[in-house]
């Protein structure tokens, strides 16, 4: 199968991320290297904490609901984690602009799918995710980018990730607006079926949302772990599964320092402002290698077990 062939080819290459200690297998570390890169790109924007994880989780849920093969589900979820890799080429002034982009800035932003594709060039696993990275902003009505594809010319994986990406953008807070309720975002998707969003996939996603099956992902940075609120900036505080009561977290927008507190049962209650600010070292972006390791093990091994192939066109 294509996935195994690529995986075996990758295993013959040197280990690129030896510091990802909980990803033991060299093949998994090849994939983890891509996810770490994507995480670091995401970290440039403090308002997108958890975005890649959420898009990947939404994509996995939608693929399962649409009864796509397990191999395709795994490849598409990985593509969801990597879809914004090309934003490394977008200047901070555009990426973090607190308002609507003008035409020139929009043109720069729209280069990110092709930049991401170029970044994957030559990577041993590129074929598994290249269609998602390049084509996740295409639309069924042909008004997307970069190629203006329409209808069934858009690969299933790209259609899935494009929908999940848009939903997360709508339900996430930005500097210039609060995230909208899930119900409102689902209504917008419903109004754009067969135009911006694939009709059958969109209806499956709406059904998931209206059953409450997206609630544990929306506004979260890991399963069951909601983003915490900075008093100045909103939900920008990312809590990791390994955090405990008394640990410090920091807003990477304003630099505010917070202390995590838990109740008597040990469950995390929230983040309490300390009145301090993080140091330059404390505010450095740091990938969540534990989450990446779990994602690699759970997703990549599923694909291998299923005899995975790259997502096919419809």
Lowest mean pLDDT among 29-33, 69-73, 93-97: 29-33
Residue 78 CB coordination number (10 Å): 28
Q: Supply 96's token pair.
A: 């973090």
Three-class secondary structure of residue 238 per DSSP: coil
Answer whether 220's CB lies under 8 Å from 50's CB: yes
**SS3 readout for 19-52:** CCCCCCCHHHHHHHHHHHHHHHHHCCCHHHCCHH
pLDDT band of residue 266 (cuts 50, 70, 90) is: low
pLDDT band of residue 258 (cuts 50, 70, 90) is: very high
Q: Which residues contact 81 (CB under 8 A, 6 or more apart)?
A: 35, 38, 52, 53, 55, 56, 295
Query: What's the whole-number mean pLDDT along residues 111-130?
Result: 91
* Angle, in degrees to the nearest 10, between helices 156-171 and 126-135: 60
Q: Distance between CA atoms of 120 and 14, rounded to whole angstroms?
A: 17
Q: Which residue matches tokens 């209808």? A: 151
Distance of CA 8 to the CA centre of its chain: 26
pLDDT of residue 98: 85
Is the pLDDT assigned to residue 306 strictly greater than 70? Answer: no
pLDDT band of residue 301 (cuts 50, 70, 90) is: low
pLDDT tens across 7-61, in order?
444 444 444 444 444 434 666 778 888 899 999 999 988 888 899 999 999 999 9
Q: Distance between CA atoms of 192 and 80, rounded to whole angstroms?
A: 21
Q: Supply 135's token pair.
A: 């084509």
Q: Distance between CA atoms of 88 and 100, rounded to whole angstroms?
A: 20
Residue 116 burial (C-beta neighbours within 10 Å; 0-12, 13-18, 19+): buried
pTM of the predicted structure, to 2 decimals: 0.88
Q: Supply 184's token pair.
A: 């409102």
Is the pLDDT assigned to residue 99 strictly greater than 90? Answer: no
Three-class secondary structure of residue 182 per DSSP: helix
């Amino acid at each position: 199968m294509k996935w195994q062939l690529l995986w075996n080819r990758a295993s013959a290459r040197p280990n690129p991320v030896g510091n990802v200690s909980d990803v033991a297998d060299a093949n998994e570390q090849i994939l983890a290297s891509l996810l770490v890169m994507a995480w670091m790109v995401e970290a440039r924007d403090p308002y997108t904490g958890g975005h890649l994880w959420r898009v990947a989780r939404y994509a996995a849920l939608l693929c399962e609901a649409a009864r796509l093969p397990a191999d395709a589900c795994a490849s598409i979820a990985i593509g969801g984690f990597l879809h914004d890799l090309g934003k490394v080429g977008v200047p901070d002034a555009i990426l973090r602009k607190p308002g609507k982009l003008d035409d020139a800035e929009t043109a720069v932003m729209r280069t990110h799918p092709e930049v991401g594709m170029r970044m994957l060039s030559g990577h041993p696993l590129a074929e598994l995710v290249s269609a998602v990275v390049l084509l996740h902003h295409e639309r069924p009505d042909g008004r997307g980018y970069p190629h203006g594809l329409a209808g069934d010319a858009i690969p299933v994986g790209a259609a899935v990730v494009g929908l999940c990406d848009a939903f997360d953008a709508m339900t996430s807070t930005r500097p210039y607006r609060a995230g909208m309720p899930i119900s409102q975002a689902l209504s917008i998707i419903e109004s754009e079926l067969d135009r911006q969003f694939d009709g059958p996939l969109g209806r499956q996603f709406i059904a998931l949302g209206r059953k409450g099956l997206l609630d544990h992902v929306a506004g979260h940075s890991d399963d069951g772990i909601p983003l915490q609120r900075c008093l100045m900036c909103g939900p920008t505080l990312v809590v990791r599964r390994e955090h405990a009561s008394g640990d410090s977290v920091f807003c990477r927008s304003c630099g505010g320092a917070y202390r995590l507190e838990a109740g008597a049962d040990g469950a995390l209650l929230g983040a309490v402002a300390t009145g301090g600010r993080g140091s330059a070292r404390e505010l450095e972006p740091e990938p969540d290698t534990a989450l990446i390791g779990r994602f690699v093990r759970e997703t990549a091994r599923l694909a291998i077990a299923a005899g995975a192939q790259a997502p096919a066109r419809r």
